[in-house]
Amino acid sequence: MKNTISDFRSDTVTKPSKEMLDAMNKAPIGDDVLGDDPTVKRLERIAAEMFGMEAGLFCPSGTMTNQIAINVHCRPGEELICSPLSHIYNYEGGGVAFNSGVQIRTGGDDFGRIFPDDINRLIQPEIDVHAAQSRLVVVENTSNKGGGTCLGIPLLKDLGLTARSNGLNYHLDGARVFNAIIRDNESPEDYHFFDSISICLSKGLGAPVGSLLIGGKDFISQGKRVRKRFGGGMRQSGYLAAAGIYALQNNIDRLSLDHDLAQRVFAYLSKLEYISEIKPVESNIILFKVKSSISTLDLSNHLLSKNILIILMDKEWMRIVTHLDIKEKDIQVLFEGLSTFS
Ligand SMILES: Cc1ncc(COP(=O)(O)O)c(C=O)c1O
């Protein structure tokens, strides 16, 4: 029998289901750069309305939606404030500096949260000509490198008020915002106080490609120009947008199943003697460390020999992610793999 891989590296590894592929196949399409694709327009409208925003912009990736937002909100030489664990700071190839000439100031805790006090401390005095002008606060919900932390609406709202009262714009990297919404029993409309939101369709929601930037009409029309400049204008992208519509209509509520599996993985790891630390598990991401006498590479190679893939986040932290394509049998294979490591 052919060995199958249990792929716990990321929720981006999912393959579109037959139903999603059928929806893609049936989609009416047109040239979206010329404004002709009805399915893209429909997806943009659905996403914007969900979050109580005026407009949406379909883009190839979450990196692009974040980068477009930063480019529209800030001018070269200005500064944004975010967690040192943020995706925009760690994993977007220095794009904040490269694409927009913006610099980053960081603060917050080890779980990817940032607090109003951090913003008040980090914000640059407007009258000081030596300082870069603070322009934007970016938060990530859930926080990937924080361990899938859900920041919660009360904190997000407080941060928004702090940003606004200091004249700063406020962007959400919501690559996994639906995980937070499901886990904290929120509604997308609770997020209306952001100036802009990036959501990803190709993570927990199982679409093969695509992210949306949503916000006000003017913001999105400026974003459309930047998308073109960044090379992100797509033509018959209605096929991809159809996958996104299917994802938004069918794959949000089931995220709780991924969270339940993540809790079981957390409980299993907690019993293993060679594990030294696990970040609290709040959604579908489990970050853990092994004892210093153990090599992370040895553990991941051992798991690989059992057809299990996990990811090394850095020299210390390892990551397991549950998602749409992780089934009970994969969990059993993972537990077996973890228990036979010595
Ligand atoms: C929190 C977060 N933001 C943004 C992104 C970027 O998304 P993409 O891979 O579609 O560029 C990721 C990707 O994993 C992410 O985890």
Digitized pLDDT (tens) for each residue of the chain, 342 residues in all: 456 999 999 999 999 999 999 999 999 999 999 999 999 999 999 999 999 999 999 999 999 999 999 999 999 999 999 999 999 999 999 999 999 999 999 999 999 999 999 999 999 988 999 999 999 999 999 999 999 999 999 999 999 999 999 999 999 999 999 999 999 999 999 999 999 999 999 999 999 999 999 999 999 999 999 999 999 999 999 999 999 999 999 999 999 999 999 999 999 999 999 999 999 999 999 999 999 999 999 999 999 999 999 999 888 899 999 999 999 999 999 999 999 998
Asked whether this chain's domains 6-13+254-339 and 18-250 adopt the same fold, the reply is no
What is the pLDDT, as a whole number, of residue 236?
A: 98
63 lines ligand 1 (CB under 6 A): yes
In the reported structure, the alpha carbon of residue 242 is separated from the centroid of ligand 1 by a whole-number distance in angstroms of: 20
Cα separation, 104 vs 194, in Å, equals 19
Q: What is the pTM of this model?
A: 0.97
175: nearest Cα among 10, 45, 7? 10
Cα separation, 24 vs 305, in Å, equals 36
- For a ligand 1 pocket test, name from 64, 70, 92, 144 the mutation site with the most ligand atoms within 8 angstroms of its C-beta: 144
Question: Could you tell me the CATH superfamily of domain 6-13+254-339?
Answer: Aspartate Aminotransferase, domain 1 (3.90.1150.10)
> Could you tell me how far CA 21 lies from the centroid of its own chain?
23
- For a ligand 1 pocket test, name from 9, 63, 64 the mutation site with the most ligand atoms within 8 angstroms of its C-beta: 63
Backbone angle region of 206, left / alpha / beta, with phi > 0 → left and psi within -120 to 50 → alpha: left
- For a ligand 1 pocket test, name from 91, 113, 198 the mutation site with the most ligand atoms within 8 angstroms of its C-beta: 91
Contact 233, 40 (CB under 8 A): no
Tell which CATH classification among 3.40.190.290, 3.40.50.300, 3.40.640.10, 3.90.1010.10 matches the domain 18-250.
3.40.640.10
pLDDT, one tens digit per residue, over 42-85 is: 999 999 999 999 999 999 999 999 999 999 999 999 999 999 99
Q: How many CB atoms lie within 10 A of CB 148?
A: 30
62 lines ligand 1 (CB under 6 A): yes
**What share of the chain has pLDDT > 70, as a percent?**
99
Indicate which atom in ligand 1 lies nearest the CA of residue 200: 10
Cα separation, 206 vs 12, in Å, equals 7
Handedness of CA 4, 8, 13, 17 (dihedral sign): positive
Cα separation, 205 vs 240, in Å, equals 13
200: nearest Cα among 17, 58, 13, 54? 58
Q: Can you tell me whether residue 105 is helix, strand or coil?
A: strand
What ranges do the domains of the chain cover?
6-13+254-339, 18-250
pLDDT, one tens digit per residue, over 228-269 is: 999 999 999 999 999 999 999 999 999 999 999 999 999 999
Cα separation, 45 vs 54, in Å, equals 8
| Per-residue burial over 58-91, b = 16 or more CB atoms within 10 Å of its CB, e = otherwise | bbbbbbbbbbbbbbbbbeeebbbbbbbbbbbbee
222 lines ligand 1 (CB under 6 A): no
Q: Can you tell me whether residue 171 is helix, strand or coil?
A: strand
Contact 220, 195 (CB under 8 A): no
What single DSSP character describes residue 3? P
Q: How many CB atoms lie within 10 A of CB 2?
A: 3
Both tokens assigned to 263: 């809790």
